Chain A
Amino acid sequence: MRARSTVSVLLAVLPFLAACGAKAAGPGPRIYVALDEQFSRPLLDRFAQELGVALDQRHDTEGNKTVGFVSAIREEAGSPRCTVFWNNELAHTVHLAKLGLLEPYDSPAGRDLPSKWRDEEHRWYGFAARARVLIVNTKLLPDPKDWPTTYRDLLDPKWKGRCAIAAPLTGTTMTHFTALWRKLGDEEFGRFLEGLFANEVRLLGSNGATMKAVRDGEIPWAFTDTDDYHVAKTNGHSVACVFPDQQDGGIGTMLIPNSVALVKGGPDPEGGRRLIDKILARQTEAMLAAAEGAQIPLRAGVPGPQDPSVKPVGSFRQMDWDVEWTAENLTTFNQKFSRRFGK
């Protein structure tokens, strides 16, 4: 009878135990990826195969973009679960470096990146960037003379209730607004924010949503990232892209690279280092440029996106933004302004 009971117990808990072990931390590194899973997963699968490691990939949700993993890495600091963090923007990675959560790694593959986009202490590297651009519906605005040209057009009464930006609570828009805060100063930035509400600018949940609102003709234009714009264009929609603030004296278009970093104390750091080398390779930048997301290579000589409307580095006026200051002030920005956006 006891034997039967024991067998029954085992039968009952067997599926449970199997499930527990199904995804237990394996021997390979674990990567947290904030870049769109459609673009990053095939690359990472390939890298894992080339390196011969069991790579455990975790992909973020769009709504939590970036901040979900940043929160997780901070919480896991005592007992890290992540080896490599591939962020789809830069400031939050620098923020983690400042908190001492990243391990320096002098990757040979990252040495030819522009010095502005890599850490002197080798804690993070920026690569394959997106530009913060204006996406325009060319059916609603067929004449380029009517197109917006600067971020200040968000405040133009001509566009009241007819333009959009993602709520700056996560992702690249949060980085963009924090950098803009630095650029404009407290007073002017405050006026800018109030102007957004006064002009009834639509605050949507993501850059994908702003792109869709324009693509589907709900509004004539919006702020988005080049990857979102490019996918809409590739899918045959009537959209164009404006690199804003290119006029004399304009602040320029913001370029936000992906970033990659080794997390301090994560599993299989050696595997993580080899993975970082793969991610930072020139070939990866080229593949990301050729993919639907049309990421802009930061290194000279790496083939850029084929679409000429996604301009290469050097062919447009770049916004000079203070990466370190932005990273240091992300939390202050959140504390100071997030309530203004109702959450």
Chain B
Amino acid sequence: MTSTSRALTVRWPLWLALAFLATFAALPLAVLAAQTVLGPDGFTFEAWRALLHDENLGRQAGATLQLGVAATAISLLLGGGHAWLTVGRDLPGASLLAPLGIAPLVLPPIFVAMGFSELMPASGFWPCAFLLGVAHAPFVAVLAARGLRATDGRAYESALLLRGRGRAETWLLRTIAPELLAGCLLAFLFTVADHGVPEFLTVKGKAWHTYAEGIMSRWARRAVGTTFAELQSPIVAALPFLAALGCLLWAALKLRADAPDRGVARPLPLRPLGGWRWPALLLPFAYLTAGVGVPVVVLARWALGSAQKREPMSLQYLQQSFAKAMDQCAVHLGNSVALAAGTALLVLLLAVPLARRSGRSSPRLELASALPIAAPAILLGIGLVRAFHDSWLRALGNDFYSGFGFAACGYVARFLPFAALTLTGQVRRLPVAAEEAGALVARSPVVRAFRLHLQPLAPAAWTAWVMVFVLALRELDLAVILPAANATAVRRLANAVHYQHEDWSGVIALMLLSIAIVVPMLPSLIAGRRLASLS
């Protein structure tokens, strides 16, 4: 066996993962980029000039950036504030409130929008920013909490003794800045890329549009009068922006990944809030009410029959709603769960070799595996459709493009970075010595992988699986574009509320939420571990 073929044999999982990334993340974006310059309709300099003078696009880009900044500020205030007040604080109920920082993540942002739009007109700029800020605040909350837990309590106490409370708190804030920055960047990225919430609010009367809406609208109408240049121009303009965003994201995630190893010998001491102890409860309360309470109450009221006026809300009506939900959407719910679970499993299979490689010897690989996060789902979806809708697989009689396999590949490409980065951080924390010793034993790579390498990764792998499962379960943007994913519960719900089907939509939404909550909690419930481990 030559050294090359041996390398291929031993490292086939890595090559498989790289091939996957190349096929389902890089290729679609490359196809989008290539189509702008190749072919008879290639994007010309005139088109670039037109692009610069395109008022609609300019307005959409401006609105998107403003929305991103405003929503991120709200995420920082709510998510960061939640972590700051509940981790290592004497806030009443802090130990219960702290792990709930992640709770709004299980709600698809469109559920939050549905909830609030029932209570107030939500078509203005600030309501939209608030909704997206709340929906993405868990990124900041979780990472900030992680930063606080990783900070050495002795260093904080030294700062406290030497410089006083105010400066010690400032020092602490500076210490967790990488995590805060990473959280804010994730929140910003998810906000500017979000199509579902702005589109939902447009349906409700929002008169200004975001970039993702513009791209999707032109894409949907591509065969009824949208010219190639019109369709392509927002995509062309988005690509350099994406590259810059990707680099920023990688930098932030790298900071985050490197941050936890600060030698935690002792956790932070309990920091007193003094007279603010009770008033400070307002912030976590407001965060959780906005992120979970309001949407869940609205959905529950829908299920009980609040949207119809024939009869009062009742448990009997809930039974009817449940029956309708099973009749109308059980298949979609099953599809959602299967797609999310399958995606999470595939992501793990691909992320482990990537993480092992990038955590040990190829840090650049981490950048490669992180970049797909920067591609908005709408853009990635359009790229996937462009690259695969006429795929050669059809000639073999397998309509891969229309099936759930293709949808799963799209989801995996979108969420692989989350798992890869989580696992890379874990790999870096594991001692190399044991692996080196294992390599000297004459056992197959597969045996070594299972017995030596994978076992220590299990907790991080479970975290990654849960994260991807929840994100895939709530994914709407890719679900709107990829054919098979059209038949998922979130897409059906986003559609159903147009039609006054609030009753069974409420039931399905609550079932989806229950699944997203119960599945991640299973090991904690079975093993009796504290819920803090989830965050």
Contacts and interface: CB of A to CB of B under 8 A. Distances in A.
Contacts of A204: 203-205
A115 B269 CA distance: 83
B389 A236 contact: no
Nearest to A206: B498
7 contacts: A5-B446, A12-B13, A64-B220, A237-B308, A238-B309, A331-B225, A334-B221
Interface in A1-47: 1, 4-5, 8-9, 12, 15-17, 19-25, 36-38, 41
Chain A: interface residue count, which band?
35 or more
Interface residues of B, number: 67
A205 B203 contact: yes
A73 B309 CA distance: 41
A61 B400 contact: no
B486 to A, nearest CB: 7
Tell me which of B205, B389, B491, B492 has the highest count of chain A C-beta atoms within 10 A of its own C-beta: B205
B227 A58 contact: no
B319 interface: no
Interface stretch (B150-158, B243-251, B367-375, B402-410): B402-410
A331 B227 CA distance: 10
Contact of A1 (B213, B403, B444, B487): B444
Given A203-B207, A208-B498, A330 B480 contact: no
A16 B405 contact: yes
B399 A25 contact: yes
A164 B202 CA distance: 13
Nearest to B445: A5
B362 interface: no
A334 B224 contact: yes
Contacts of A21: 398, 403, 405
B408 A19 contact: yes
A231 B499 contact: yes
Contact of B444 (A5, A208, A333, A335): A5
B116 to A, nearest CB: 14
A232 interface: yes
Contacts of A53: none
Contacts of B394: 79
B345 to A, nearest CB: 6
A45 to B, nearest CB: 10
A231 B226 CA distance: 34
Given A203-B205, A334-B224, 14 more contacts: A4-B447, A19-B342, A21-B398, A23-B484, A25-B398, A38-B328, A71-B220, A71-B223, A73-B223, A209-B203, A231-B499, A232-B500, A235-B310, A343-B218
B475 interface: no
B205 A20 contact: no
A70 B223 contact: yes
B492 A169 contact: no
A76 B394 CA distance: 12
Contacts of B121: 218
A35 to B, nearest CB: 11
B208 interface: yes
B361 to A, nearest CB: 22
A337 B276 CA distance: 56
B500 to A, nearest CB: 5
B307 A235 contact: yes
A44 B223 CA distance: 27
B403 A20 contact: yes
Given A9-B12, A15-B345, A20-B398, A71 B221 contact: yes
Nearest to A96: B223
Contacts of B447: 4
B217 A343 contact: yes
Contacts of B403: 19-24
Interface of B is mostly: helix
A59 interface: yes
Given A61-B486, A62-B495, A212-B500, A22 B405 contact: yes
B214 interface: yes
A205 B204 contact: yes
A228 B221 CA distance: 23
B402 A15 contact: no
Contacts of A334: 221, 224-226
A236 B398 contact: no
Contact of B220 (A63, A206, A236, A332): A63
A24 B499 contact: no
B390 interface: yes
B179 interface: no
A214 interface: no
A67 interface: yes
Contact of A58 (B309, B486, B495): B486
Interface in A244-260: none
Contacts of A95: 224
A173 to B, nearest CB: 13
Nearest to A7: B446
Contacts of B205: 164, 202-204, 209, 213
Nearest to A215: B500
A38 B496 contact: yes
A58 B483 contact: yes
A8 B449 CA distance: 11
A240 to B, nearest CB: 14
Contacts of B223: 67, 70-75
A209 B486 contact: no
B346 interface: yes
A62 B203 CA distance: 10
A61 B389 contact: no
Q: Which 8 A-B pairs have the closest CB atoms?
A: A205-B203, A20-B405, A334-B225, A236-B309, A331-B225, A208-B498, A71-B223, A236-B310
Given A205-B204, A334-B224, A342 B56 contact: yes
B389 A333 contact: no
Contact of A342 (B209, B222, B225, B328): B209
A154 to B, nearest CB: 15
A4 B389 contact: no
Given A21-B403, A59-B486, A75-B389, A205 B202 contact: yes
A41 B483 CA distance: 17
Interface in B387-420: 389-390, 394, 398-400, 402-406, 408
A332 B225 contact: yes
B366 interface: no
A70 B223 CA distance: 7
Nearest to B339: A19
Interface string A206-236: 1011011101001000000000100110111
A81 B403 CA distance: 12
B194 interface: no
A104 interface: no
Interface string B460-487: 0000000000000000000010011011
B494 interface: yes
Nearest to B214: A343
Interface in B214-273: 214, 217-218, 220-227
Interface string B113-140: 0000000010000000000000000000
B318 to A, nearest CB: 16
Contacts of B226: 334-335, 338
Contacts of B486: 58-59, 61
A236 B311 CA distance: 8
Contacts of B499: 36, 38, 62, 208, 228, 231
Nearest to A92: B224
A70 B221 CA distance: 9
A261 to B, nearest CB: 15
A169 B307 CA distance: 28
Interface in A321-343: 330-335, 338-339, 342-343
B66 to A, nearest CB: 16
Nearest to B400: A20
Nearest to B332: A37
A19 B340 CA distance: 12
